[in-house]
Structure 1
Amino acid sequence: MAELDLSSDVVALTAALCDIESVSRDEGGIADAVEAALRALPHLDVTRFGHTVVARTDLGREERVVLAGHLDTVPLTDPPNLPTRREMVDGEEVLYGRGTVDMKGGVAVQLRIAHEVREPARDLTFVFYEAEEIEERYNGLKHLAADHPELLAADLAVLLEPTNAEVEGGCKGTMRVEVSTKGIAAHSARPWNGHNAIHDMHDILRRLADYEERAVEVDGLTYHEALQAVGIEGGIAGNVIPDRCTVRINYRFAPDRSGEEALAHLHSVFPEHELRVTDLAEGARPGLDRPAAQTFVEALAVPVGPKEGWTDVARFAALGIPAVNFGPGDPNLAHHDEERCPVAQLVAAEAAMLRWLA
Structure 2
Amino acid sequence: MSSDVPVLTRELVSIPSHEDEGSAGDFIEAWLREHADGDVTRDGTGNVLARKGDPTGPTLALVGHHDVVPPADEQAKNGEYLVEERGGRLYSRGTADMKGAVAAAMCAFRDASDLDGELVFASFVGEESGGVGARYAIENGFVPDYAIVGEGSTNYSKPGVTDVVVAHKGRRGSTITARGTASHASEPEAGENAIYRACEAVDLVREFEAPAAEVLGNRLSGSVAVTEIGGGSAMNVIPERCTVTVDERTVPGERAPLERVGELEGVEWAVDQDLPPMRCSDEGFAEGVLAAAREAQEGSPELVAKPHATDAGWLAEAGVACVICGASEPGEAHTKEESVSIEVLERCYQIYREAAERII
TM-score (norm 2): 0.83
Aligned counterparts of 1:42 and 1:346: Cα–Cα separation in 2: 19
Counterpart for residue 107 of structure 1: 102
Aligned counterparts of 2:36 and 2:282: Cα–Cα separation in 1: 33
Counterpart for residue 304 of structure 1: 303
For structure 1, list consecutive stretches of 5 or more residues without a partner in the other structure: 1-5
Counterpart for residue 355 of structure 1: 354
Aligned counterparts of 1:7 and 1:107: Cα–Cα separation in 2: 14
The secondary structure found in structure 2 opposite 1:40 is helix
Aligned counterparts of 1:110 and 1:270: Cα–Cα separation in 2: 46
Aligned counterparts of 1:192 and 1:293: Cα–Cα separation in 2: 62
Aligned counterparts of 2:317 and 2:200: Cα–Cα separation in 1: 37
What is the deviation of 1:350? 2.3
In structure 2, relative to structure 1, the CA distance for the partners of 1:277 and 1:356 (3 Å cut) is: closer
Deviations 1:113-155 (A, max 9, x none): 023223346531001222222265xx222222222x1xx3432
Counterpart for residue 258 of structure 2: 266
Structure 2 counterparts to residues 1-358 of structure 1, below 5 A: 8-24=3-19, 26-41=20-35, 43-50=37-44, 51-59=46-54, 62-81=57-76, 82-88=81-87, 93-120=88-115, 122-134=117-129, 139-147=132-140, 149=141, 152-164=142-154, 165-257=162-254, 262=255, 265-268=257-260, 271-272=263-264, 273-289=267-283, 291-301=284-294, 302-358=301-357
Counterpart for residue 298 of structure 2: none
Aligned counterparts of 1:339 and 1:41: Cα–Cα separation in 2: 28
The secondary structure found in structure 2 opposite 1:133 is helix
What is the deviation of 1:197? 2.4
Deviations 1:296-318 (A, max 9, x none): 22332322222333211122223
In structure 2, relative to structure 1, the CA distance for the partners of 1:100 and 1:239 (3 Å cut) is: same
TM-score (norm 1): 0.84
The secondary structure found in structure 1 opposite 2:323 is strand
CA contact (8 A) 2:17 2:68 kept: yes
CA contact (8 A) 1:224 1:308 kept: no
Counterpart for residue 297 of structure 2: none
- Residue type of the alignment partner of 2:153: T
Runs of 4+ in 1 over 4 A off after TM superposition: 268-271
Aligned counterparts of 1:145 and 1:322: Cα–Cα separation in 2: 14
- Residue type of the alignment partner of 2:272: T
Give the CA RMSD over aligned residues: 2.6
For structure 2, list consecutive stretches of 5 or more residues without a partner in the other structure: 155-161, 295-300
Aligned counterparts of 1:60 and 1:190: Cα–Cα separation in 2: 73
The secondary structure found in structure 2 opposite 1:76 is coil
The secondary structure found in structure 1 opposite 2:29 is helix
CA contact (8 A) 2:74 2:336 kept: no
Aligned counterparts of 1:43 and 1:11: Cα–Cα separation in 2: 21
